[in-house]
């Protein structure tokens, strides 16, 4: 279908949760020196202009990263530091937050010499922009379906694996397909760390994804959900992340990060964090 463009949503509360989790996982994985193969199955275009027409049409970042940015001096968890450093790097000078980095940029920021990054993006203009951004770095951009593409690349050459699965869920069957791909990927690389983002919808479709993940046999699946305190009547009312094989201690550190934004009402969210499937 490919009608979704992330530029309308970049920097919203879901991106804060998703990229906050990604930055923390990468920080924690870097405690060991061995190389990491990173895959971003639905990469988007990498760089988003928060002052651009698309971002201003929805103004979603105003209730997401802009509020976090304004409250940056109140955040208690030190794990927001790398996140804020990435944002500051793109928004030096004026103090205003006008550029928001998408998932490829978060991956690239943490990349070390022995690591590798593969980005999948199917949308023609998004993948063209992505390739333009990535041409400055040793990163592979593949204009392929991210789910089947990922399976072809596993197991990776590097000893460790980090994968973000972040589709736009434009087709209802995506929920089941994501779960089935996760199950197959895990069979090929059981020690890999997999992050799966999903929307929490009034329709409840996300329950299919979680149920299907339970059926795959994948173990050690942490589930973080944030819910809008003032949700719309229809559509997306929250944001969910599954983290398969989270680094030890990730759960409490990520809960503290989300408490900073949810507990203190920076983003007017409530959070739940629990094991969907234990070890």
Ligand X SMILES: C[S@@+](CC[C@H](N)C(=O)[O-])C[C@H]1O[C@@H](n2cnc3c(N)ncnc32)[C@H](O)[C@@H]1O
Which residues are known catalytic residues?
166
> For ligand X, which residue of 66, 108, 123, 160 counts as binding (CB under 6 A)?
123
- Distance (Å, whole) CA 187 – CA 218: 8
CB of 225 to ligand X, least distance (A): 17
CB of 239 to ligand X, least distance (A): 11
CB of 90 to ligand X, least distance (A): 13
Omega cis (within 30) before 155: yes
Site track 61-100 with ligand X (rule: CB under 6 A), x = hit: ----------------------------------------
Number of residues lying near ligand X (CB under 6 A): 19
Tokens 């940056």 — which residue? 72
- Distance (Å, whole) CA 237 – CA 31: 35
102 contributes a contact to ligand X by CB under 6 A:
yes
Which of residues 181 and 275 has its CB atom nearest to ligand X in the complex? Answer: 181
210 contributes a contact to ligand X by CB under 6 A:
no
145 contributes a contact to ligand X by CB under 6 A:
yes
Q: Which residues bind ligand X (CB under 6 A)?
A: 2, 4, 6, 18, 42-44, 102-103, 120-123, 126, 145-146, 166-168
């Amino acid at each position: 279908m490919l009608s979704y463009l992330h530029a309308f949503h970049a920097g919203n509360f879901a991106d804060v949760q998703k990229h906050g989790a990604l930055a923390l996982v990468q920080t924690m994985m870097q405690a060991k020196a061995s190389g990491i193969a990173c895959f971003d199955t639905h990469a988007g275009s990498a760089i988003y202009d928060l002052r651009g027409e698309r971002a201003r049409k929805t103004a979603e970042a105003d209730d997401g990263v802009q509020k976090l940015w304004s409250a940056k001096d109140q955040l208690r968890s030190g794990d927001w530091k790398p996140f804020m450093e990435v944002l500051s790097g793109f928004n030096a000078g004026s103090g205003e937050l006008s550029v928001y980095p998408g998932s490829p940029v978060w991956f690239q920021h943490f990349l070390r010499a022995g690591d590798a990054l593969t980005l999948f993006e199917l949308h023609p203009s998004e993948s063209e922009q992505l390739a333009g951004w990535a041409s400055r770095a040793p990163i592979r951009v593949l204009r392929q379906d991210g789910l089947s593409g990922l399976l072809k690349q596993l197991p990776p050459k590097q000893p460790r694996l980090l994968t973000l699965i972040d589709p736009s869920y434009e087709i209802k069957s995506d929920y089941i397909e994501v779960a089935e791909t996760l199950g197959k990927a895990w069979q090929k690389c059981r020690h890999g760390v997999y992050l799966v983002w999903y929307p929490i919808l009034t329709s409840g479709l996300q329950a299919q994804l979680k149920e299907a993940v339970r059926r795959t046999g994948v173990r050690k699946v942490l589930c973080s959900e944030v819910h809008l305190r003032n949700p719309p009547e229809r559509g997306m009312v929250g944001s969910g992340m599954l983290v398969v094989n989270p680094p030890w201690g990730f759960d409490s550190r990520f809960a503290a990060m989300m408490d900073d934004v949810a507990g203190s009402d920076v983003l007017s969210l409530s959070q739940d964090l629990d094991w969907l499937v234990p070890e």
